[in-house]
Structures are given as structure tokens and as C-alpha cells.
Amino acid sequence: MESQQYLESILKAQDLDDNSQELNDLQTHRKDVERLLREGFPNSSPTIRYGGSRAKTTLIRESYDLDIICYFPCDDTGAGTTLKEIFENTSKKLAENYYVDPKTSALRLKDKQYKLDFHIDVVPGRYVDASKSDCFIYQNGADKDRLKTNLDVHINHVKNSGVVPAIRLLKLWKTRRGLQLKHFVFELLIIKLLKVKKNSSLETQLKHVWTSLKDAQEPISIEDPANPTGNDLSELIQSAWVQFSDRSRATLTLLEQSGWEAIFGPLEDEKNDAGKTHQFVRAAATVSSPTRPWLPKK
């Protein structure tokens, strides 16, 4: 099988079908989240919609989270007068049905009794003005207590990058090797590296990214398209750089020695794709063997 055909088949196995149980479960929770927030803040009119990989079309079945944004109008004080109050009051409302684990800017939802992770993040915020474009979100526990962002800019930047298939494959690679870097930051890095490779094959694109990560003497700088001068992403890149560089070097060596199946594993029989892929338990932390890096540790 040619490399392009193999990689496309790996991608297909990572699709989350519209009628899949996983997606149905996520959509059920999304409806519940919206109900809780609209009933909890009856005098407000927040914008509640999908963000993250589902909106950007970069979702992979093996590791997916559902981001739900809840942005209040600039002059709406129904959920609080400050960003901190909005964050805390949104958390209290969600806690009626969920165990809420506060993150830096998001509220992670888990089962209230057993704390089973639903892989759903709710991101509260407030629009900067009446145009409902730029938004401020709270930075829980951070030195900078708020962050300016723009969901549509993020979504369009990734969806229209021309390299979404490569992004999805590299997210799968990142997941199976337990590499720690925010998905969106990793997406920005990939888009920058593939700016001159948009028309290349998937094989060429992946090799180019790994080679660039391996050869760069210093961490590659990236900018947040929604706030290029206001959001510093350098610390996130620097803290992960050595690990990404080392794993890229090892990946290229393994690819040369053993081929693509040594990177992403053998293709599953189509009729067993859904069940077997789901058994990977989403986002394996490390690999169990250097000769079979697609298998998660049991």
C-alpha cells in the first residue's frame, strides 16, 4: 500500500461518525450544559456554542475533548460583574449536575458521583464589545487574570489552513507518545511549519514537521492569531521543546528503519475499526514498546 493511501486510511479510522455513541453522548451533555446555564442565568443571553477540535474539524477519535464556550454580552452582568465572578458563578451552576474541575480558563466536567471524566470543557467569558467578536476570558490562578481571544479567528485560522489532515495525524502521533502541549498551540506550530508545504503529500508534510522539530536549535516561535502581541505562547513551546525534538528524531529513525506502520500501527479491518480504536482508552500516556509505538500502555 502506498504511503498516502495508508495515511488516509489511518485518518478515516480516526473519524467520529455523526451517529456514533461517543458523539451522541457528547451532544447530550452539551444540551444539558446549555439548559443549566440558560436556566441558571435567566436574565442573561450568553452565546453558547462549540469550540475546540469539533469546530475546527481537527477532532481525532482516539483523543477528543468537547469545548463549549459560554460568552456573555459586554454589558451583561447577570452572571457576574467581573470575569472572576462569571467564572465562579458558571462553575456553581454546572456543579448542580457535574463535578467541576476548574482549569486555567476552562471548567472540566466530570461525573458527580464517580468523577468519571466526560472530556468536556466549558469556557466562560465576556465579549469585549457589542460586535461579539473579541472576548475576555478569566485566567484562574495565573499572573495575568484575563486573556483576550477570538473564537472565530481561531476556528478559521485552523479550518482554512489547508493542512487539517496533517494536523489530525500529528495530533494522533502526539497523543500516542504522551507529548504534553496544548492542542491549539501544537496546531499553530504545525500550520507555521507547513506554510510552504500545503500542496505536498501527507508523507512529505509529516516528515517536514518532524525534521523541523528535530533540527531547530531553538524553540520555534508562534503567535496567537487572535491576539499576536498580547498572548505570549513562548513559555508553552519552550517547556515542551526538548521532548518534541527528541521524539521527532526517534520517529524519523523508526520510520526509516521500519516504515509507516511502526509509527501509526497496522490498519484495522474496517468492520472492527470503531470497537478496536475505542479500546485505546483515548490519549495513551506512553507507548508500551519502542517497536510498536501505536499501542498504549495497559
CATH number at residue 230: 1.10.1410.40
Asked if 262 and 291 count as a contact pair (C-beta separation under 8 A), the reply is yes
CATH number at residue 96: 3.30.460.90
Identify the domain boundary among 101, 128, 150: 150
Give the per-residue pLDDT at 229.
80
Let me know whether 162 and 60 are in one domain: no
Q: What is the per-residue pLDDT for 269?
A: 62
Element of type H or E holding 101: strand 99-102
**Residue showing cell 475499526:** 273
Q: For 238-269, how does the pLDDT look when each residue is reduced to its tens digit (9 = 90+)? A: 888 999 999 999 999 999 999 999 999 998 76
Contact 297, 280 (CB under 8 A): no
Q: Report whether pLDDT(278) > 60.
A: no
| 101 and 79 in a common domain | yes
CB neighbours of 186 closer than 8 A, spacing ≥ 6?
170, 171, 174
Give the per-residue SS3 of 255-268: HHHHCCHHHHCCCC
pLDDT band at 228 (very low <50, low <70, confident <90, very high): confident
pLDDT at 214 over 90: yes
In this predicted model, which residue has the larger pLDDT, 229 or 59? Answer: 59
Identity of residue 70: C
Close Cβ partners of 187 (under 8 Å, ≥ 6 residues apart):
56, 58, 158, 167, 171
Structural domain of 232: 3-15+158-278
Same domain, residue pair 69 and 136: yes
β-bridge partners, 101 = 108
94 and 168 housed in the same domain? no
Query: What is the torsional sign of CA 22, 26, 27, 29?
Result: positive
Asked if 172 and 127 sit in the same domain, the reply is: no
| Cα(260)–Cα(286) distance, integer angstroms | 19
User: Do 168 and 211 lie in a common domain?
Assistant: yes
Write down the mean pLDDT value for the chain: 87
Residue 289 domain-assigned (yes or no)? no
Q: Look at 110 and 20; give whichever has higher pLDDT.
A: 110
* Residues 184 and 265 grouped into a single domain: yes
Q: What is the pLDDT of residue 40?
A: 95
Please state, in angstroms and rounded to a whole number, the distance separating the CA atoms of residues 204 and 198.
10
In a domain, 203, yes or no: yes
Residue 256 main-chain phi, psi, to 5 deg:
-65, -35
pLDDT at 103: 94
Together in a domain, 42 and 119: yes
Residue 170 belongs to a domain: yes
Residue 227 backbone zone (phi > 0: left; psi -120 to 50: alpha; other: beta): beta
Residue indicated by cell numbers 457528547: 26
Task: Give pLDDT tens digits for 175-184.
Answer: 999 998 888 8
Percent of all residues in the chain with a pLDDT value above 90, rounded to a whole number: 65
Residue 298 domain-assigned? Answer: no
Q: Tens digits of per-residue pLDDT, 90-147?
A: 999 999 999 999 999 999 999 998 889 988 999 999 999 999 999 999 998 877 889 9
Domains: count for the chain: 2
In this structure, of 36-40, 62-66, 104-108, 202-206, the range with the lowest mean pLDDT score is 62-66
Is 204 a residue whose pLDDT tops 70? Answer: yes
DSSP state, 73? Answer: P
Q: What percent of the chain has pLDDT over 70?
A: 90
From 275, 283, 248, 278, select the one nearest 263 (Cα to Cα): 248
Tell me which of 173-182, 234-243, 283-292 is least confident.
Answer: 283-292
The answer to whether residue 62 is domain-embedded is yes
Give residue 243's pLDDT.
93
Question: In the predicted model, is pLDDT for residue 232 greater than 90?
Answer: no
